[in-house]
Structure 1
C-alpha cells in the first residue's frame, strides 16, 4: 500500500516505548511500513531511558525523547495521533496539520479519569479512531466529525514462532505434576478475574506473566506461577510453552469497550484460546475462541485441549494473518487520506 500523500504520524510521550508493546507502538510501527508514511513515537522514558535523543528503529520509524529536536525527521503533513485525552494539547515543536483522537478504552471504572478531558479531546480532534464496536457506536452517534473503526491487531510474524516449542526460558516453571499449562501475559491489573484464575488452577497449572512496578499483582495458589514482566522479544518463547492461552477478564462496563491486543498474538501461535465473554471477542472471534466462566472453565479448557486439531490451528492462524497490525495500519492510513483530502 502507498499513502496518497506524504505524512508523518507523531504520538506524544504517553507511555514508554519499551514497557508494554501495545497498540500505540504497534500501530505506529506498522504505519511506518507504508510508503510515504513516517512515524515518530515520543517515549515517556518511565521504564527505560533512550540511549540518545533520537533512535531509528527501522526505516521511517523513530523513537524520540520529549526534549529532542525532531524537526528534521518531518516529511509532508504532520498527523498528531493521540490516545490519552489529557495530551490533546501536548505542545509539539512542529505544526499539527491533522489530529486523530484514538479511542482505545471505555472511560469508566479504572479508566474513569480519562473522562475528565474526553470531551475536549473529541472536540479538538479532526477525526476519531475507535478500537471497539461500543466506542465506535458511541462516538458515531454523538459527533458530526469523521469516526472510523480500527480494531487492535497482532504482530503475526513475531508470534508465529510460538507454533513450535522454542527454548524454554530459565524461569519458566517446572511443575511437579502432569497437568496442562494455561498461560496469560500482560498487565496483571484489577480487570483480571482472580477468582476465575484460582478456579482454573484447581485443575491446571497456570502461568501469569507481567508483574512489574506498575502492576505488582500476584495470585497465590500452589498451581500458579507469577512471573515478572518480560521484554516483548521474549514473549514467543513463553507462549510456546503454554498448552492453552487465556484472557480471564472481568465482564465489567469497562470491558464492553475492550479489544484485547493479546488475542491476535495468541492466535498467531495457533494455540487454543479461552476467554471470558468480552463483547467484541464474542462478536468477532467466536469461531476461534472458546468462552468460559467460573462455573464451566474446567470443562471448556479440557474440551479446547481434547478437540484441538491441525484444522483448528490453521483457522486461528488465518484469523491472525487477516487481523495483523499491518492490516490495521492500512485502515488508518486509508482513513487519513480520505479525511485529510476533504
Structure 2
C-alpha cells in the first residue's frame, strides 16, 4: 500500500480493537503514513461480522469522498458486508490466507468468501497453494507469492543498526523467529529442539494469538520477547545467528506462503523451516527444510558451523532469490492487473459474472 500511495490516495482500515480507557467506544485512531496513505483503527466492541461491518459504514462515508469512483481492496472476506451499503468502482480481493482454516474462524466464512468472489473483478493470492485453491472459483485469479521490502531488511547487515537491548542480554548463539505465535507454531518441535540444543538460545518474537501462553513450549533456552515494531525487526535479525520457521503441519499452515522467508533471506540469514508446502516449492535449495526435531536441530547446528565457503555460496543463492522477488515488481504487476487493464475487453481481465446474494 505504501508503494501504491505514490499514485493513489489510500485509506487503510484495520480490524477493530476493543475500547479501553485511552480509546473509548467509537474512537478512531488515525496514523498518517504519508500524504496519501492514512491508517484508521476503530475501537468498537465485538459483535457478529455483519453488525461490525455496519459500524464501518459511517466511518467510510465520512472520510471517502467518492465511493463509486473508489476501489475497495479486501484482505479478508469478513468485510464483504460493506458491499451491502456501498457500490465501489472496483472490488479487489487480495487473498493472503485461508482464513477459514484458522482457529476460531467463523463457520460462515466460506459463504462470506463466495459473496466476495462474486463481487470481485480481480483476485490475488499470496502463494501457489492458495492460487490452486481459488483458481477455479473465479475467472480472474493471479498468483503473487511473497515479496520483500529488501531495503528495510538489509539494514540487518548495516554496521549502524543496533541489536535491541533485550536480545543483547540473551546468550549466544541465537536462533530466532518473529511473527504471530498461534496454532501455526509447532510447540512440540520447538521444545524438543531446545532440548537437543541446550547451548543455543531460541528466540520467539511476536504476540500470542488464539492460544494461551500456557500452551507455549518452555525451556531455559527458549525466550519469548513479545511483539516488536516493524521498524525494529532488522535489529532483531542482526542479532540472530540463524532464522527459523518452526511451523506445524496442519490445516492452518496448508496454504501459507510465509513473507518472513524472504525477509530473513534479505538479511542473508541461514534459514531452517519445517516442510510447509509453499516453502518447499519456492525455496528448496535456499532454506534447510526439516520435518522433525532431530533433523531441525541438526540443520541449525550445521549452519552454526558453516565454513566461509559454504556461507558465501548460500548468500549468493539468497541474493539471487531476493532480486527476483522485490515488492516494486509485484506492485507494478498488481496495479496493471487491478487498474490498467480494465476496459480492454479480453477474457483475462474481465470481472466475474457470478451473482451471489448478500445474505
Q: Answer with 1 or 2: which has the greater Rg.
A: 2
Q: Equivalent residues in 2 for 1:73-222 (5 A)?
A: 77-90=69-82, 95-106=87-98, 107-110=100-103, 112-113=105-106, 114-143=109-138, 145-164=139-158, 166-172=161-167, 174-175=169-170, 180-202=173-195, 203=197, 204-212=200-208, 217=213, 218-222=216-220
Which residue of 2 is the match for residue 21 of structure 1? none
Q: Equivalent residues in 2 for 1:14-29 (5 A)?
A: 28-29=1-2
Which residue of 2 is the match for residue 232 of structure 1? 230
How far is the alpha carbon of 1:40 from its aligned partner?
A: 1.9
**How many residues end up aligned between the 2 structures?**
309
Structure 1 residues 223 and 54, CA gap change in structure 2 (3 angstroms)? closer
Task: For 1:78 and 1:320, locate their aligned partners in 2 and report how far apart those are by CA, in whole Å.
Answer: 33
1:288 is paired with a residue whose SS is coil
Output one character per residue of 1:83-136: Cα deviation in whole Å (capped at 9) or x when no partner: 211211326987511111222222325275332412112112222111121221
Q: Can you give the 5+ residue segments of structure 2 that lack an aligned partner in the other structure?
A: 42-55, 346-359
Q: Equivalent residues in 2 for 1:214-293 (5 A)?
A: 217=213, 218-293=216-291
* Structure (1 or 2) with the greater strand fraction: 1
Which residue of 2 is the match for residue 320 of structure 1? 322
Task: For 2:33 and 2:174, locate their aligned partners in 1 and report how far apart those are by CA, in whole Å.
Answer: 35
Structure 1 residues 127 and 111, CA gap change in structure 2 (3 angstroms)? farther
TM-score where L is the length of structure 2: 0.77
How far is the alpha carbon of 1:280 from its aligned partner?
A: 1.0
1:37 is paired with a residue whose SS is coil
Task: For 2:189 and 2:176, locate their aligned partners in 1 and report how far apart those are by CA, in whole Å.
Answer: 13
Structure 1 residues 292 and 100, CA gap change in structure 2 (3 angstroms)? same
TM-score where L is the length of structure 1: 0.80
How far is the alpha carbon of 1:249 from its aligned partner?
A: 0.6
Structure 1 residues 118 and 313, CA gap change in structure 2 (3 angstroms)? same
Q: Can you give the 5+ residue segments of structure 1 that lack an aligned partner in the other structure?
A: 1-27
Task: For 2:327 and 2:319, locate their aligned partners in 1 and report how far apart those are by CA, in whole Å.
Answer: 14
Root mean square deviation of aligned Cα: 2.9
2:166 is paired with a residue whose SS is coil
